[in-house]
Structure 1
Amino acid sequence: MTVKIWKRDWPLHLMILPGFLFVLIYSYGPMAGLIIAFKKFLPSKGIFGSPWIGLDNFRFLLSLPDTFQIVYNTIIIALLKIAAGLIVPIVVALLLNEVRKTAFKRTVQTLVYLPHFLSWIILGGILIDILSPSQGIVNTFIGWLGVKPIFFLGSNDWFRFTLVVSDVWKEFGFSTIVYLAALTSINPVLYEAAEIDGANRWKQTLHITLPGMLPIIVLLATLSLGNILNAGFEQVFNLYNTAVYETGDIIDTYVFRIGIQKAQYGLATAIGLFKSVISLVFISLSYFLAYRFANYRIF
């Protein structure tokens, strides 16, 4: 029986092979380099020839004055992005759901979805230009209102806000489509019955639309816990500078500076391993909660 199934399904297994090799080479293969976290890595001696130092890199990491501030920055920025990334798409999806002109609705969907396809290198350049305190369009506009120019990308008071708003601007269109798809699964008969009972659009939204969206909202909210330590390296790296390290420096950018710019490979690997272990805990928790509250299962 097994041989018969294999003869029948071998083309499907062959189709999986490229993806399996890709993950094996680029995801599992580099894990051998994690032993650098427990060594005093010397490029001249290589990974396996460098001397072991045990947990010294981790002890040194915990003794650094910036460590806890960087972890705090990462968690705060990630939580703000998760919260805003849930609320804004839901509101936009509800508003678009009330639009009756199909052409206008599709146009808006396309416009809000486009930034998702742009890299942070491109968007970073755009934001630097439009948020410039001297010539940026945003500061020019608020200047007309009598407000002094704001250094969005150079002020610790505004940098996190700028990160969250720009991230939502880039990604909320993609999430909006997910919620709009969830709205199509709600039975139209429920709205007809509610209208006969005298419910206005607000009450229909409150008692029919939102409960109908609740499973996908709970699912996306719980799965987002896995990104609690991913505050967005590409975005922060392209927007931050030394003036906002206090509030904008995150684990990934810190690893880049320590490992690539300062060549402290052992310490950088230790920081990355520390982040990976904590992320694994949050990912496991998120999938448990997704199964518990949204009946979502991987297998």
Structure 2
Amino acid sequence: MINTAGLGKKLWKSRYMYLFVLPGTLYFLIYKYIPLLGSVIAFQNYNPFEGMLHSEWVGLDHFYRIFDNTEVIRVLYNTLTLSFLQIAFAFPVPVLLAVMLNEVRGEFFKRLIQSIIYLPHFLSWVVVVGIVTLFLRSDGLINSMLHEWFGMQPIAFLQSEAFFKPLLVLEVIWKEAGWGTIIFLAALSGVNPELYEASVVDGANRMRRIWHITLPAIRSTVIILLILRLGQVLDNGFEQVFLMLNPYVDQVGNVLDTYVYYKGIQQSDFSFATAVGLFKSVVGMILVIAANRLAKRFGEEGIY
């Protein structure tokens, strides 16, 4: 039997610690776990007037629709393309910034650069997209400069399918790269300075020190963050994409997040939208598990 008296004493002894974690626990419970109960409508023809308990059960019909619907295939392709572009170009930038800042010896200049590059993180996507729109619209600053300096006609940056995904990636880099740098700088702060001093004595130049000391020090952190990022490969961030979308770029810009919004909210196809969202979550979980096992096979710690 469980010693309830002893358990109660332990809980009371650590009451302040439990109070400290209580807000975070309630957040995940209320906004993450309890809403999972609504996933049941992915297996129903959900009717808001009948509720979850009385709506018709259809099993996996909505999941079959995901793979039979050519529009979903196109949206899935857009989602994967954008995610892999972000992994290929946006993910390495914080690593490069951290390595470069680690080589800066002037403490004031180093902190100044840090502050400047991670300030955009605190801007909402509404503000970021608003700034981009002001610069890139037909009568914006960039087109005005191109016309006055080079006599060029306005370029439809925001209405061009070719520019849409690169613009999204550049926005992510500008907004989030500085914030991600903090994690890698924290990892580098644990490197013993004597390693660098010994390498200098041995005649290693700066590139050799970076390759043999700096990069191995943050390798495990990079792998963990990459595993977590792979779990979000079908999650491009609704707000940014939704604000950048317009009828001209819908064919290349509509991703699963915005597709779920259009189907579930605008077209009231709640069950199908829920099935797509559940499909996203399952794929993300599988990718995290697979990437974690692959990391462990190569001798890394992984995330669990």
TM-score, normalisation: structure 1: 0.90
Q: Residue deviations 1:74-121, cap 9 Å, x none?
A: 111111112223321122222222222222221111111011111111
Map residues 123-162 of structure 1 onto 2, 5 A cutoff: 123-132=128-137, 134-143=138-147, 144-145=149-150, 148-162=153-167
Aligned to 2:227: 222
Say which SS state the counterpart of residue 81 (structure 1) adopts.
helix
Give the letter aligned to residue 231 of structure 1: N
Aligned to 2:100: 95
Contact 2:223 2:302 in 1 (8 A): no
Aligned residue among 113, 117, 120 for 2:118:
113
Map residues 144-183 of structure 1 onto 2, 5 A cutoff: 144-145=149-150, 148-183=153-188
Give the letter aligned to residue 89 of structure 1: P
Aligned residue among 40, 46, 49 for 1:44:
49
Aligned length: 297
Q: Residue deviations 1:252-298, cap 9 Å, x none?
A: 10000011111111111111111121112123234444555432445
The verdict on how the C-alpha distance between 1:113 and 1:200 changes in structure 2, with shifts beyond 3 A counting, is same
Percent identity between matched residues is 42
Deviation at 1:6, TM superposition (A): 3.2
Deviation at 1:142, TM superposition (A): 4.1
Aligned residue among 239, 245, 263 for 1:240:
245
Contact 1:219 1:294 in 2 (8 A): no
Say which SS state the counterpart of residue 92 (structure 2) adopts.
helix
The verdict on how the C-alpha distance between 1:172 and 1:18 changes in structure 2, with shifts beyond 3 A counting, is closer
Aligned to 1:82: 87
Contact 1:224 1:286 in 2 (8 A): no
TM-score, normalisation: structure 2: 0.89
Mean alpha-carbon deviation: is it higher for 189-198 or for 161-170? 189-198
Deviation at 1:147, TM superposition (A): 5.3
Contact 1:291 1:297 in 2 (8 A): no
Say which SS state the counterpart of residue 47 (structure 1) adopts.
coil
Contact 1:39 1:266 in 2 (8 A): yes
Aligned to 2:3: none
Give the letter aligned to residue 24 of structure 1: L
The verdict on how the C-alpha distance between 1:112 and 1:12 changes in structure 2, with shifts beyond 3 A counting, is same
Give the letter aligned to residue 174 of structure 2: W
Say which SS state the counterpart of residue 161 (structure 2) adopts.
coil
Give the letter aligned to residue 172 of structure 1: A
Aligned residue among 176, 196, 200 for 2:201:
196
Counterpart Cα distance in 1 of 2:111 and 2:21? 35
Deviation at 1:14, TM superposition (A): 4.0
Aligned residue among 287, 290, 300 for 1:294:
300
The question of 1:24 aligning with 2:29 is answered: yes
Mean alpha-carbon deviation: is it higher for 36-45 or for 156-165? 36-45
Counterpart Cα distance in 2 of 1:115 and 1:164? 15
Deviation at 1:17, TM superposition (A): 3.6
Counterpart Cα distance in 2 of 1:138 and 1:128? 10
Say which SS state the counterpart of residue 191 (structure 2) adopts.
coil
Unmatched 5+ stretches in structure 2? 1-5
The verdict on how the C-alpha distance between 1:140 and 1:202 changes in structure 2, with shifts beyond 3 A counting, is farther
